[in-house]
Structure 1
Amino acid sequence: MQKTRGVKATKGIRRAQFLAGMASAGLAAAVLPSGPARAARRGLRHHGVVYTVGQGETPGTAFSAPRMREDIRIIRDELYADTVDVTGDGVERLTATAAEAAERGLRVWLQPTLGDVPERDILEHLAETGRFAERLRRQGAAVDLSVGCEFWLFVPGIVPGATALERIRNLLDGRVDPVAMQRRLDRFTAKAAAVGRSVFHGRLSYAAAQDDRVDWRLFDIVGIDYYAYFPHKADHVRELSRYLRWGKPLAVTEFGTCAYVGAPEAGGMGWDVVDHDKKPEEIKGDLVRSERTQAAYLTQLLDVFSSMDLYAAMAFEFVTPDAPHRPDDPRHDLDMASYAITRTVKDRPDDPHSDWHWEPKQAFHALADRYRAGRREGGRE
């Protein structure tokens, strides 16, 4: 997915009006099959981070292969992750990043997310990426393939709107027929699963928003983008346990929050604090930056995941180059609206061509401590 900053962060968006419409149509209750949940046992099998590839929004943030290679090294050697979720669009960028991760011994969760183009182009993009994933798998790499994420958001024709942002507005404004939307979503999800199966013979998954209705019989791993806020651990366990009823491994394909006070309570809408009509863009209101808030939320969720026998959990995300940190200018500190565990710092803040580097946030160090401990417990260090 390289999406615009606002669209990328909408993964996990709360869609109260849409879900209410589903409930009134009698669809929400059909999300999961009946039957007993699996008994929970301790252990998070794989722990990782989402690494987004894409063209970048400015010349200075365009994809760089040397930068990517160094980032992947750091993800393994300093973040102590064992898995990297390689996601975005552009087959060459996706495959180069996946190959680098596999070469360094990381488990690859490969997820192409081309959007806002015709269905046939999205499916061909998936097929090309899946063929490469199969080659990596046959060469001995640990690879899981996700056929995409939140299709209602990125695939034209499921929800009215020419772009992802227009589709979000239509959902939030209630301008969607939930029955027709679900029918179109089911049709495309089945198509994508069939394409994935035709080219890839390992484990297949899909990254759904929390309350999406998905026929998980199509996949080997249940994948959920999880941005819920609850004050107590038991509430998270109860929420996530719904997805164990399928009797399949559960992967939290995204989890995270932004670095300001109150961000966890905003869930998947934490990004929506930027006034994009201003030039330059600026933070709305009087937010208080708090990297501690972000770090605490991530570690709280890791405690939950580690108590539930989850297959994997990937923190969203490693870096967001197009949301730079301005330490001396809180009004324009766009990093506060980013879910990244690193902060982007530009050499020349007002120059779109400027080079940049990232610095670790408290969340990076908090995850590294947990991931390193998990690596030791798993006998890998």
Structure 2
Amino acid sequence: MRSTGIGRKSFLAGAAAVGVAVAGGALPGGGAMAQASTGGRPTDANRASGRRGGLTYRGVGYEVTDGETPDTGWHAHRMRADMLAIRHALHANSVSVFGDGVDRLEVTATEAAERGLHVWLQPRLADRPQAEILDHLAETGRHAEQLRRQGARVHLSVGCEFVLFVPGIVPGADAVERIKNLTEGNFDPEKMSRRLASFIARAASTGRSVFNGPLTYGAAQDDEVDWSLFDIVSVNYYADHPDRAGHIRELRPYQRWGKPVVVSEFGACTYKGAAQDGGMGWDIVDYTKQPPEIAGHRVRSERAQASYLTGVLDVFESMNLYAALAYQFVTSDAPHRTNPRYDLDMASYSIVKALWVKPEEPTARWHWEPKQSFHALAGAYACAEPTASGGGRGVSGG
């Protein structure tokens, strides 16, 4: 089954136009308030939260949706080369495969598993009927179960930030309209909470019906989630604090559930001050201009991005969290250009920079090069690799 989702450029342009500032902190994928309540099932995932010795899984997010052009969309050949780089150059032992299109998700997850990577498989189908989103989840979950039975280390996430991308929870025909209604208060908070809880429960039930391994949900920071529904607590974390203590204070409550805690996304854009802008760092592009250009006077800084990533990674290690996944590997539709005015990579969280052969269009020969953040993470991951790659502390079923 092939499915389509919202395009990056259309979402970012629309979100910027309405001045997105979702309660609880807006993130690159949006922001949501999640709430659900059912009984969780006991697994080794619950017991794993008591282990010591730093992260079990260290990795990066890899998106599989179509691009804004045919040349920047998902391609199997590029994906295979990227998985090799993630495993052997980045020294990651885990990858979050997310996006829409069950075929792309399946092929990418299978390739990652064959390369020895632990896989987080997360379907993200947006602006489609709820039944179709659940069908998309079920198909993805069946493949995750097939991989698990074949011996792969795989966890399933039922999705992320449903309040924005699932119709019927808040008013709006698409994600941009829902953002506008959220920011302007054009919604009923009680109805939203009930509808969100209902859909999360349906998604969890769908995931359980097809997948027998550890289950989670990608929540936005500060969301209120009843994690008894899931085996693993996951949060997309983009906070900035002047010291380690601030990060620890913010993350400690997630450990109170007695379950493994995953930072399912963490990152910063590629300019000075991006860490302070957190999940809104992408909102520096003026899409009303043609070609789109960087608004204001931003200064590119790969060093600042790398410093933030390694700084928070060290906090995650010290807290013995279960996993941390940098957001994200590559953003093909946000190319690096030498002219700062048009350097869309500054608004990108990716750890590699997309380089187009022609500045105005990608062509099939575009390529990427590592940023300082790639090298910094590779060094940190490589140092931890001997104790993490064996999978001895992994969650059962994964």
- One fold, TM greater than 0.5? yes
1:365 maps onto 2:375 in alignment: yes
1:117 maps onto 2:128 in alignment: yes
What does residue range 147-226 of structure 1 map to in structure 2 within 5 Å?
A: 147-226=158-237
What is the aligned-residue identity percentage? 58
Matching residue's letter, 1:368: A
Matching residue's letter, 1:351: E
Q: What secondary structure, in the 3-state scheme, does the structure 2 residue paired with 1:368 have?
A: helix
- For residues 280-305 of structure 1, the C-alpha deviation after alignment (integer angstroms, 9 at most, x for no partner) is 11110010000001000000111100
Instruction: Indicate the residue corresponding to 1:331 in structure 2.
Output: 341
Instruction: Indicate the residue corresponding to 2:44 in structure 1.
Output: none
Aligned partners of 1:47 and 1:83 also within 8 Å: yes
Following the alignment from structure 1 to structure 2, what is the Cα–Cα distance between the partners of residues 202 and 19?
A: 30
- For residues 36-73 of structure 1, the C-alpha deviation after alignment (integer angstroms, 9 at most, x for no partner) is xx889541111000000011111221211000000001
Deviation at 1:113, TM superposition (A): 0.6
From 377, 385, 393, the equivalent of 1:375 is 385
Deviation at 1:5, TM superposition (A): 2.6
What does residue range 287-366 of structure 1 map to in structure 2 within 5 Å?
A: 287-327=298-338, 329-351=339-361, 353-366=363-376
CA RMSD across the alignment? 2.3
What does residue range 42-81 of structure 1 map to in structure 2 within 5 Å?
A: 42-81=53-92
Aligned partners of 2:93 and 2:389 also within 8 Å: no
Q: What secondary structure, in the 3-state scheme, does the structure 2 residue paired with 1:236 have?
A: helix
Deviation at 1:19, TM superposition (A): 5.0
Following the alignment from structure 2 to structure 1, what is the Cα–Cα distance between the partners of residues 20 and 36?
A: 16
Deviation at 1:133, TM superposition (A): 0.4
The 10-residue stretch of structure 1 (208-217 or 192-201) with the greater mean CA deviation from structure 2: 208-217
Alpha-carbon distance change, 279 to 175 in structure 1, aligned in 2, over 3 angstroms = same
Q: What secondary structure, in the 3-state scheme, does the structure 2 residue paired with 1:310 have?
A: coil
Instruction: Indicate the residue corresponding to 1:254 in structure 2.
Output: 265
The 10-residue stretch of structure 1 (102-111 or 166-175) with the greater mean CA deviation from structure 2: 166-175
Instruction: Indicate the residue corresponding to 1:18 in structure 2.
Output: 23
Alpha-carbon distance change, 173 to 141 in structure 1, aligned in 2, over 3 angstroms = same
Aligned partners of 2:275 and 2:308 also within 8 Å: yes
Aligned partners of 1:99 and 1:136 also within 8 Å: yes
What does residue range 111-150 of structure 1 map to in structure 2 within 5 Å?
A: 111-150=122-161
Alpha-carbon distance change, 197 to 247 in structure 1, aligned in 2, over 3 angstroms = same
Segments of 5+ residues of structure 2 without an aligned counterpart are 26-32, 38-48, 392-398
Structure 1 length as normaliser, TM-score?
Answer: 0.90
Deviation at 1:379, TM superposition (A): 6.6
Deviation at 1:241, TM superposition (A): 0.6
Following the alignment from structure 1 to structure 2, what is the Cα–Cα distance between the partners of residues 17 and 258?
A: 19
Structure 2 length as normaliser, TM-score?
Answer: 0.87
Following the alignment from structure 2 to structure 1, what is the Cα–Cα distance between the partners of residues 137 and 305?
A: 33
Q: What secondary structure, in the 3-state scheme, does the structure 2 residue paired with 1:176 have?
A: coil
Following the alignment from structure 2 to structure 1, what is the Cα–Cα distance between the partners of residues 389 and 86?
A: 18
- For residues 225-265 of structure 1, the C-alpha deviation after alignment (integer angstroms, 9 at most, x for no partner) is 00111111011011101111111100110000001011000
